[in-house]
Structure 1
Amino acid sequence: MRKAVQTLPRITLRQLAVFVSIYQTGSTSRASEELHLSQSAVSSALTELEARLQMPLFERVGRRLNQHPNAYPIYIQAQAILGQALSLEYYHKHQAGQIHIGASTTIGNYVLPPLLAKLYDIQPKANVDLYIANTQEVVTEVEQLNIDIALVEGMPRPADSKVIEQRAWRTDTLMVFAKRDSRWLNGLAEYDAIDDCYRLSITQLAKLPLLVRETGSGTRQIIDEQLLQYMPDADVVMAIQQSEAIKHMVSADIGLGCLSQHAIHAELANGNLVQVKVAGIDLARTWWLIWHKSRHQSPIWQTFIDIITEV
């Protein structure tokens, strides 16, 4: 008589979801909170997945879980599978016009609104869920398949390219700026009446108080890479999460600011703020269109792509 071969149960989506949550949060307790499961159910699901794969995914050190080298390739595959399952689950909602759009702060506040207006013109019943945050926060949401498509100001990290597609979208220029009659420029900067701007050297700028965006924002990434690296002793007096707050503080003459040309366009036009050109410094940058490689590309997704890539 042939001996029956014992087989292990199939891998389930729940096991993969538990594993991904543990991988991202670093613990079974935080995963249980995120997934609204008991901690014992989370631990059991992880144990079952490791048994089915016949490999460890985490190393238990006391109460801590340290990622095993096996974990990362499984994490990438698990994300793709869960993304495909999510796409299938919400397929009809996408067909009906649902889309989750992400945007970093400058794009979301100053550039995206007219693009959304075009989308509503084409699809009046479009159901748009909008998430605006700094670049790194938006990239994280794309990684976790919470956003269909995003427009960001900073280039995603090299590691993100394993799960994220990225395409150069537009170019933008950051501007250093000040209050029109700023005390910081008085007697220091040369005023150019033709271009309506002040001119400073990098050495002069380094002596002035500078208000910048927070670490993690696309604007700050460019400031770090293309401005502050030449000013190791610069007087950066404040890192601020909101561009509007920076503009108000510069208007109060607390210091100089550095933001996208789109963020200060109105204030430059009405003369409340003035551009400060820094000799030898180029603050041009690329904006990026990003999405998860496993994300379902619905008809409304393609419509939005067509709108934002129009020449």
Structure 2
Amino acid sequence: MNTLRLPRASLQQLRSFEAVARLGGIGKAAEALHLAQPTVSTQLKELAQALNLHLLEPEGRGVRLTPHGELLADTVRDLFARWRRFEEDALAMQGLQKGRLKLAAVTTTEYFIPDLLGPFARQYPGLRIDLAVENRDAVIQHLARGDVELAVMMLPPTDLALERWPFLENPLVLIAPVGHPLAQRTRLRLSQVIQEARLTREPGSGTRQATDQYLAAQGVSWPARLALGSNEAIKHAVAAGLGLAILSRHTLGPDPASQGLVELKVTGLPIRRMWHVVWRSDRSLSLPARTFLAALRQQFSETPPGREVPRHEPG
């Protein structure tokens, strides 16, 4: 007869270890947990002794995980994620009146994701919705750590076990300031526009990665003159005449000219990409996450994936 083997670690020890692994230092973990630093240090020492494993080693002013520490950190994150899902599902059995939906999305989605979340939030007013909007690299880190259950991005990583669902077209277009000489042409070749200065998003941006991939596939070298950390900053810089840029058409709104911008007609453009909802295939989704995913599928099942997102115009 099989018997349940209880862990040799306490919940408090695992909680302290998870905070140290996430924050990279005992002092930071103690502050985050509202504990004294010696208390956290003692819990880590007792945890290592109970497991008979070396879990941490000094690195600069902080600590880093040993290979055994990395293994335990993954296990603890999975354990805590499963416990959160249990709590949320238990509450959700009351009719999704409570619970939490944890999402991350790349920065360009800020132009449409509120319109995706709005109807869901109104349908389930008791749910807490946590949304992190950051660049692609940061979103991938959230997925890898298990901080979020669902993410919206253009280029899902290939080194994580992920399920993905493409739901919306994301055309990347070339923009110039209104009145630019190239804007008078009805059709341009790529070789003509790369004589202009190129403005681009920062390293880690999905838009920049997709653009660089496209240019490389065309055998074209178009170095960036200036890298900026947001779509709005790029639009203002283009409107000011600092250069041209390739951005998602979602960032332009219905009237680019009102922002001092025009979309150039270039052979081979726009770059055709899709927005994806992704989630970890090696972890089960909570009921709030499953319900939101089902709502998205229903919303986008009536028309092809390239449809426009319904936008709420100001009254």
Taking the aligned partners of 2:42 and 2:125, their CA distance within structure 1 comes to 47
Tell whether 2:185 aligns with 1:191.
yes
TM-score under structure 2 length normalisation: 0.77
Native 8 Å contact 1:145 1:295 kept in 2: no
Distance 1:9 1:223, change over 3 A: closer
What secondary structure, in the 3-state scheme, does the structure 2 residue paired with 1:147 have? coil
Equivalent in the alignment of 2:226: 238
Distance 1:65 1:129, change over 3 A: closer
Equivalent in the alignment of 1:258: 246
What secondary structure, in the 3-state scheme, does the structure 2 residue paired with 1:266 have? coil
CA distances 1:46-100 after superposition (whole Å, capped 9, x unpaired): 2222222222122347866343222222222111011112223444555324423
Native 8 Å contact 1:50 1:57 kept in 2: yes
Moved more, 146-155 or 208-217: 146-155
Taking the aligned partners of 1:36 and 1:207, their CA distance within structure 2 comes to 57
Distance 1:281 1:53, change over 3 A: farther
Runs of at least 5 residues in structure 1 that lack an aligned partner in the other structure:
1-7, 193-197
What secondary structure, in the 3-state scheme, does the structure 2 residue paired with 1:101 have? strand
Moved more, 116-125 or 242-251: 116-125
Moved more, 239-248 or 60-69: 60-69
Distance 1:15 1:227, change over 3 A: farther
Equivalent in the alignment of 2:66: 68
Tell whether 2:15 aligns with 1:21.
no
CA RMSD of aligned residues (A): 3.2
Equivalent in the alignment of 1:99: 101
Native 8 Å contact 2:19 2:29 kept in 1: yes
Residue-pair matches, total = 288
Equivalent in the alignment of 2:81: 83
Taking the aligned partners of 1:64 and 1:302, their CA distance within structure 2 comes to 38
Q: How far did 1:19 drift?
A: 2.3
Distance 1:44 1:133, change over 3 A: same
Equivalent in the alignment of 1:209: 197
What secondary structure, in the 3-state scheme, does the structure 2 residue paired with 1:208 have? coil
Taking the aligned partners of 2:60 and 2:244, their CA distance within structure 1 comes to 51
CA distances 1:118-177 after superposition (whole Å, capped 9, x unpaired): 32454455543333222222333344444342212332361xx15x55444444221111
Distance 1:269 1:253, change over 3 A: closer
Equivalent in the alignment of 1:303: 291
Runs of at least 5 residues in structure 2 that lack an aligned partner in the other structure:
1-5, 302-315
Native 8 Å contact 1:16 1:82 kept in 2: no
Tell whether 2:276 aligns with 1:275.
no
What secondary structure, in the 3-state scheme, does the structure 2 residue paired with 1:100 have? strand
TM-score under structure 1 length normalisation: 0.78
Native 8 Å contact 2:136 2:206 kept in 1: yes
